[in-house]
Amino acid sequence: MGTQRLDLPCSFTRNEAIMVSLTLERPSQSRGPCSFRPRQVTLSSSAIIAQTSSWEGKREIEGTLWSKKGSFKRYHECGSFEDSALHPSKKKRTVSSSTEVFSSEEFCYDDADDDEAWPPCTVEESLDADQFQAGTRGYPNDRSGSTSSPSDSEGSWQNDEGNSTGVSAFKRSVESTRTEHEGLELLNLLIECSQSISTSNHIAANFYLSRLGSISSPTGSTPIHRLVAYFTEALALRAAKQWPNIFCITPPRELAEANDNDESTALRLLNNVTPIPRFIHFTLNERLLQAFDGKERVHIIDFDIKQGLQWPSLFQSLASLPNPPGHVRLTGIGESKLELHDTGVRLAGFAQTLKLPFEFHSVVDRIQDVRLWMLHVKERECVAVNCVLQLHHALYNDSRIVLADLLRLIRSTNPSIVLMAETEAEHNELRWEKRFVNALKYYSAVFDLLDHSLAEESPSRLKIEEMFARKIRNIVACEGGERVERHERFERWKRMMEEGGFKCAGFSEREIFQSKMLLRMYDCENYSVEKDRDGGGGGLTLKWMEQHLYTVSAWAPIDAAYQPC
C-alpha cells in the first residue's frame, strides 16, 4: 500500500506556515496525483465546478454573496447555497455529455466535451491579450473599433493621463472580477468536499481537500480565502475522525492544544477594533448599575472572568454614583491560577485609584465543578451572576443535566440579577451538515467585519481570525463531549432559562438607546442593535448587516421579588 501526502494550510504565524499533514492509503499502482483513476489527470477548478453545479447557480450566488469590494454578503438570502450544501441531489447538472463519477474505485472525467463543461469566459478572457496590456496597443476609443497608435500624442495610453486613469480602473475591475470568481470557486469546492464526507466518499473528499489546501490560505488576501482555509482544516480533521483506518492526520500542537494566552490576546485585540466586546460589556454593566442602585454591599460572580475586561468601566460608574456601594466583592472563576491572580491584582489596583472598597476572590476550577461553598456568598449582599459566552459549554450533555445543575447553582446564590451573553447562532444541530452550513453563514459575516476593521497585512487580524478558527474546527470536526461550541438562538435559551427557574428581566429604553449610541463610535454603518421580538422580548442583539452576531439578556429567579423594567 502506498500513501499520498496532502499538505493543508494551517498557518498560525505570518512568518512560518504550519502544515496539517493528511495521508490517504491507496493502491501503489495508481499513478494519478489524487489516486482517483489509473492515469494522470489535470483538472482546472473551473471545470470541476462546472460539472458539479450549474454556472447559472453560481451567478445567483455571485449576485447575493458578494459586494463590489469582494466582501461577503448575507448567506441567509442565498437559498440555493444552503440547498446545494444539505441536499446534493437537488443540484442542477448542466454537463450531460461528460462523465462524473466519484466512487471508491476511480474518478473519471471525459475530455471529449470539454467546451460544454466550461462556464462563460470572464472579462479578461474575452479581451485581446495585447489590449489588456497597457502601453502595448491602443484601446478602441470609438464605436468603429479604430485604435490609436502608441506614437499618437492624443489618446495614447502613455501620454493621456485620463486614459491612464481609465486603464487603472479597468485593471482593478478585472482583478475584482477574477477575485470574485475565485471566491465562488472556493465556496463550491468547499461544499462539494462537505458533501463527499457526508456521503462517505473518501476518494472525492481526498481530492477536494487536496485542491482546497492548495488554493486557500489563512493569510490570503481576501476574507473568503482565509475563511475557506480554516473550514478546510475542519473538514480534514473530520475526515480523519470518520476514516481512522484510511486517513492519518497529525495536527500541530497549536491545533491540538488550546492556548489561553492566544485567546486572551485575541479578545483584547477584538475589543480594540470592533464593538463586539464593548457592546456586551457596556450593555450588561448598565443593567448591573440599575440592580446595584442604592445597595451597600454588592457581590459579582463572574463565571469566566479571563482578564476582567468588563469590570473597569463598571468600577468607574459605581465610583461616580452619588451614593457608591460601601463594599464591592468580585468572585472570578477560571481554570488558570496565574491568570486569575494577575486579573485580581490589576482590578484591585484600578479600584484603589478610584477609592472604591474592593475585594477579589478567585475560584480555580471548571465551571461544572464549582460548588456553592466556593463562592463565599454572604448575607446582606446584592448578588449578581455574570455568564458571558459560557452557558453554551454546558450543553455537551444531550440530557442538559449539566446546564440544569449549573442553573441550580446560580439560583442557590439568591441572585438579584443574572446577566447572560451568547453567540446568536444555531451551531448545536445534531446533523453536522446543518452545523457546517450555519457556521459558514455565521463566520462569513465575522470574517467580513474583521476585513472592514483591519488591514490585510495586520497581524491583529490574523490573531483574531485564528481564535474564531478554533471555534470553527470544534463545530465542524468534533462530536460528543469534545464539541463544546454549542451555540443556540435566544428563543431556545429563553425556553431553557425558564425551565431552569428564571424569568426575563429585560432592558429599559435608556439601556437600549445607550447601546445604539455606542455603535456610533465606530465608523461603520453595518452594525446595528435589534431588540428581540421572536423570543418574546428581553434580549438585545448585535448585528452585522442582516446577520445576528451576539445577544445579551438579563434574568431573575422566578420566585424573587424582582420587577422587570
pLDDT digits (tens, 9 = 90+) for 20-53: 444 444 433 333 333 222 223 333 333 333 433 3
With CA atoms as reference, report the closest residue to 50 among 210, 226, 192: 192
Continuous segment of H or E residues that includes residue 209: helix 202-215
Given a contact cutoff of 8 angstroms between Cβ atoms, the answer to whether 235 and 197 are in contact is yes
Q: What string of DSSP letters covers 229-289?
A: HHHHHHHHHHHHHH-TTTEEEE--HHHHS--HHHHHHHHHHHHHHSSHHHHHHHHHHHHHH
- Distance in angstroms (rounded) separating the CA atoms of residues 337 and 493: 31
- Distance in angstroms (rounded) separating the CA atoms of residues 349 and 351: 6
Dihedral angle over CA of 47, 53, 59, 60, nearest 10:
-170
Tell me: the pLDDT tens digits for 170-221? 666 666 677 777 788 899 999 999 999 999 999 999 999 999 988 888 988 8
Task: Please compute Rg for the chain using Cα positions.
Answer: 28
Given a contact cutoff of 8 angstroms between Cβ atoms, the answer to whether 38 and 32 are in contact is yes
**Predicted pLDDT at 8:** 53
CA atoms within 13 A on the CB side of 152: 13
- Distance in angstroms (rounded) separating the CA atoms of residues 117 and 43: 11
Q: Is the pTM of this model over 0.95?
A: no
Q: How far is CA 485 from CA 26, 242, 480, in A?
A: 35, 20, 11
Q: What amino acid occupies position 363?
A: V
Residues of the chain where predicted confidence (pLDDT) is lower than 70: 1-176, 251-260, 533-537, 560-565
- Distance in angstroms (rounded) separating the CA atoms of residues 524 and 544: 10
Given a contact cutoff of 8 angstroms between Cβ atoms, the answer to whether 483 and 474 are in contact is yes
- Distance in angstroms (rounded) separating the CA atoms of residues 549 and 477: 22
Given a contact cutoff of 8 angstroms between Cβ atoms, the answer to whether 540 and 519 are in contact is no
Q: What string of DSSP letters covers 136-153?
A: TSPPP-STT-----TT-S
**Predicted pLDDT at 428:** 93
Other CB atoms within 10 A of residue 292 CB: 23
In the beta sheet, which residues pair with residue 23?
5, 248
- Distance in angstroms (rounded) separating the CA atoms of residues 220 and 224: 8
- Distance in angstroms (rounded) separating the CA atoms of residues 12 and 19: 10
Given a contact cutoff of 8 angstroms between Cβ atoms, the answer to whether 124 and 132 are in contact is yes
**What's the gap between Cα 416 and its chain centre?**
34
Q: Tell me the three cell numbers of residue 212.
A: 482546497
**Predicted pLDDT at 169:** 63
Residues 6+ away with beta carbon under 8 Å from 302: 308, 310, 311, 330, 331, 332, 333, 386, 388
Given a contact cutoff of 8 angstroms between Cβ atoms, the answer to whether 282 and 511 are in contact is no
Q: In the chain, what are the domains? A: 2-256 (no CATH), 274-424+487-541+548-557 (3.40.50.150)
With CA atoms as reference, report the closest residue to 549 among 278, 265, 188, 262: 278
Q: Tell me the three cell numbers of residue 267.
A: 479578545
Other CB atoms within 10 A of residue 59 CB: 12
Which residues in 79-106 are b (16+ Cβ under 10 Å) and which e? ebbbebbbebeebeebbeebeeebeeee
Continuous segment of H or E residues that includes residue 449: helix 432-453
In the beta sheet, which residues pair with residue 548?
543
With CA atoms as reference, report the closest residue to 544 among 438, 428, 447: 447
**Nearest 5°: phi and psi at 547?**
-90, 125
Q: Tell me the three cell numbers of residue 146.
A: 479604430
With CA atoms as reference, report the closest residue to 384 among 510, 479, 285: 285
Continuous segment of H or E residues that includes residue 446: helix 432-453
Q: Kindly tell me the burial class for residue 5, based on how many C-beta atoms sit within 10 Å of its own C-beta (0-12, 13-18, 19 or more).
A: exposed
